[in-house]
Amino acid sequence: MTAESGAVFLTEGAHSAQLFTVLSGWAFRFKMLDDGRRQILNYVLPGDLVGLQGSVIGEMEHSVEALSPLVLCVFQRDRLDELFANHPGLAFDVTWLAAREERMLDDHLLSLGRRSALERAAYLLAFLHERAVSVGLGKGQGPVSIPLTQQHVADTLGLSIVHTNKTLRKLTNKGLIRWLGRSCEVLDATELARVAGWEGLGEPVRPLI
Amino acid sequence: MTAESGAVFLTEGAHSAQLFTVLSGWAFRFKMLDDGRRQILNYVLPGDLVGLQGSVIGEMEHSVEALSPLVLCVFQRDRLDELFANHPGLAFDVTWLAAREERMLDDHLLSLGRRSALERAAYLLAFLHERAVSVGLGKGQGPVSIPLTQQHVADTLGLSIVHTNKTLRKLTNKGLIRWLGRSCEVLDATELARVAGWEGLGEPVRPLI
DNA sequence: CGGAACTTTGAGTTTCCTCAAAAAATGTGG
DNA sequence: CCACATTTTTTGAGGAAACTCAAAGTTCCG
């Protein structure tokens, strides 16, 4: 299955939730408040599972939207029981992915709760850079390019679009990032992580799904 | 196994991570930045699993501290493989718990990113109240009592202790909570949820571990 | 080429923070 | 049970961070 950039392909409340594996492209998970405030929860990259909450618990409480053209592999939900029954190794891998997601959310919570705007922005871009590199998106010549707008950054960091712009400008002026059209190039991931006081994900092994 | 109130019984970086089930008591998971800023990630109640990240991925990236005297049941990590191999139903329950934790963290992120101080405080107390009731802590006469200090609330909401105090006072003045010693009584959980614009957890079924 | 979406900037306001200190509750040892 | 140290809660005042409003540039896309 494929999805266009900007397409919301899983929505909150969906009861017939499907489970997907991302083969290529970028997406993000988000929730909204009634008055339109949006919070981006995490980003989805190749190798990630999408819709596990819906499949395991029965209903989705967040939505997922594509940031770039996306290629997905669909899993029927009822086959999850079969997977646990007959493929314990794969079942463990699913749980490994869930634990890794939990760990990323822990990091995001630390950021939103206790880092300043500048630290938060540096953290986010260092994080996305590390994730992009870990799935092989850094192999092209030059810096890694992340497909998002400043509105996405604002809705991830819990900041207004105006303050986000001013904060990203500081990182740009330090030569750590560059903003191009609707994407961000990370020029110095090490320094970004240092500004944020972030240790990195530290993911030695990971299962292939 | 038991733990005293205030005891940190799992620490960040622990490599020989164990897996626990909580039988009774309250605890919380947290992370710290180098300069001492602390962020509480989530609360742990009876029926919760503690240390799954360490068991599945291999290293803990957060710590866990008791809020009240705690009774725990220890699981050896290597028995997790055996569980996945021979008890697919239980393995699924472990994954269910991981998905539920992920969902709670999603809610917390929405709160930290997009809710005001008052909304955040109302959300947190409605959330903790709902969790307490769901494990049967509401059966004693009178309101549910949650064992924490305002410093814990501040470190959960990402606010200073001073602003937290002023915010909780507003909720007290509205008659929604009462602060007693080092604990909080929830007097009107419905109104708290309404102030927060929060729908509740919505947990029809749950596995028994 | 023209409209829409996105980025940038400035000005004034609100929310939340820090500092400082007092008041209240809790715990401890005699 | 009381005196004392410690922790927790409360209050006030001034400052910093982030927000809203408004508008001008830019870039993107059909």
pLDDT digits (tens, 9 = 90+) for B141-180: 789 999 999 999 999 999 999 999 999 999 999 999 999 9
Q: How large is the average pLDDT for residues A2-30?
A: 89
A102 and B156 within 8 Å at the Cβ level: the answer is no
Instruction: Supply A152's token pair.
Output: 């996405």
**Which of B59, B81, B114 comes nearest A39 by C-beta?**
B114
Q: For residue B73, how many other CB atoms are within 10 A of its CB?
A: 11
B91 and A96 within 8 Å at the Cβ level: the answer is no
Instruction: Examine the pLDDT at B206 and tell me if it is beyond 90.
Output: no
Q: For residue A33, how many other CB atoms are within 10 A of its CB?
A: 16
Mean pLDDT of chain B: 93
pLDDT at B207: 62
Do residues B45 and B131 lie in contact, with contact meaning Cβ atoms separated by under 8 Å?
A: yes
Q: Identity (one letter) of the amino acid at B70?
A: L
The nucleotide lying nearest B157 (C-alpha to C1') is C16
With CA atoms as reference, report the closest residue to A96 among B76, B52, B189: B52
Q: Residues B33, A198, B53, A128: what is their CA dihedral angle, to the nearest 10 degrees? A: 140
With CA atoms as reference, report the closest residue to B148 among B162, B128, B172, B163: B128
Burial B171-197 (b: 16+ CB within 10 A, else e): beeeebbebeeebbebbbbeebbebbb
The nucleotide lying nearest A166 (C-alpha to C1') is C8
Instruction: Give how far B142 is from chain A: nearest CA, Å.
Output: 32
Which residues, in sequence order, are bridge partners of residue B86? none
Which residue's structure tokens are 């930290």?
B112
Which CATH number does the domain A2-86 belong to among 3.40.50.2000, 3.40.50.10320, 1.10.260.40, 2.60.120.10?
2.60.120.10
Chain A interface mutation, best of B59, B108, B110, highest count of A Cβ atoms under 10 Å: B110
Residue A147 DSSP class? -
Do residues A80 and A19 lie in contact, with contact meaning Cβ atoms separated by under 8 Å?
A: yes
Bases of chain C with protein Cβ within 7 A: 5-11, 15-20, 25-26
Which residues in chain A are closer than 8 Å to B106, comparing Cβ atoms? Answer: 29, 31, 41, 61-62, 105
- Name the residue ranges covered by the structural domains of chain B: 2-86, 109-196
- Helical spans, DSSP H, in chain A: 52-57, 79-86, 88-114, 117-134, 150-157, 161-173, 189-196
Instruction: Give the pLDDT band of residue A14 (cuts 50, 70, 90).
Output: confident
DSSP-assigned letters across all residues of chain B: -EE-TT-EEE-TT-SS--EEEEEES-EEEEEE-TTS-EEEEEEE-TT-EESHHHHHHSS--SEEEESS-EEEEEE-TTHHHHHHHH-HHHHHHHHHHHHHHHHHHHHHHHHHHH--HHHHHHHHHHHHHHHHHHTTTT-SSSSEEE---HHHHHHHHT--HHHHHHHHHHHHHTTSEEEETTEEEES-HHHHHHHHT------------
pLDDT at A205: 66
The three-class DSSP label of residue A191 is helix
Compute the half-sphere exposure of residue A171: CA atoms within 13 Å on the CB side of its CA: 32
Q: For residue A34, how many other CB atoms are within 10 A of its CB?
A: 7
Chain A interface mutation, best of B29, B32, B56, B101, highest count of A Cβ atoms under 10 Å: B56
Which residue's structure tokens are 């614009």?
B197
pLDDT at A189: 97
Check residues 152 to 191 of chain A and report those whose beta carbon is under 7 Å from nucleic acid strand C.
161-162, 165-166, 168-169, 172, 179, 182
A100 and B155 within 8 Å at the Cβ level: the answer is no
Rounded CA–C1' distance between A52 and C1, in angstroms: 47
pLDDT at B170: 98
Provide the number of CB pairs (under 8 Å) joining chain A to chain B.
Answer: 144
pLDDT at A6: 86
CA distance A72 to A50: 9
B61 and A156 within 8 Å at the Cβ level: the answer is no
pLDDT at A15: 74
The three-class DSSP label of residue A118 is helix
With CA atoms as reference, report the closest residue to B180 among B152, B160, B158, B150: B150
The order of strands in the sheet holding B144-146 is B144-146, B183-186, B177-180
Residue A69 DSSP class? -
pLDDT at A204: 66
pLDDT digits (tens, 9 = 90+) for B7-64: 898 888 877 678 999 999 999 999 999 999 999 999 999 999 999 999 999 889 999 9
Q: How large is the average pLDDT for residues A131-152?
A: 92
Do residues A158 and A195 lie in contact, with contact meaning Cβ atoms separated by under 8 Å?
A: no
pLDDT digits (tens, 9 = 90+) for B118-148: 999 999 999 999 999 999 998 877 899 999 9
A158 and B31 within 8 Å at the Cβ level: the answer is no
Instruction: Give how far B141 is from chain A: nearest CA, Å.
Output: 32
Q: How large is the average pLDDT for residues A181-185?
A: 94
CA distance B54 to B47: 18
Instruction: Examine the pLDDT at A132 and tell me if it is beyond 70.
Output: yes
pLDDT at B204: 66
pLDDT digits (tens, 9 = 90+) for A70-126: 999 999 888 899 999 999 999 999 999 999 999 999 999 999 999 999 999 999 999
A73 burial (CB, 10 Å; 0-12 / 13-18 / 19+) is exposed
pLDDT at B205: 66
Instruction: Give how far B137 is from chain A: nearest CA, Å.
Output: 23
* Cβ-based neighbours of B183, under 8 Å, separated by 6 or more: B145, B146, B147, B148
Return the CATH class of domain B109-196.
mainly alpha
Q: How large is the average pLDDT for residues B195-206?
A: 85
pLDDT at A209: 60
Q: How large is the average pLDDT for residues A157-172?
A: 98
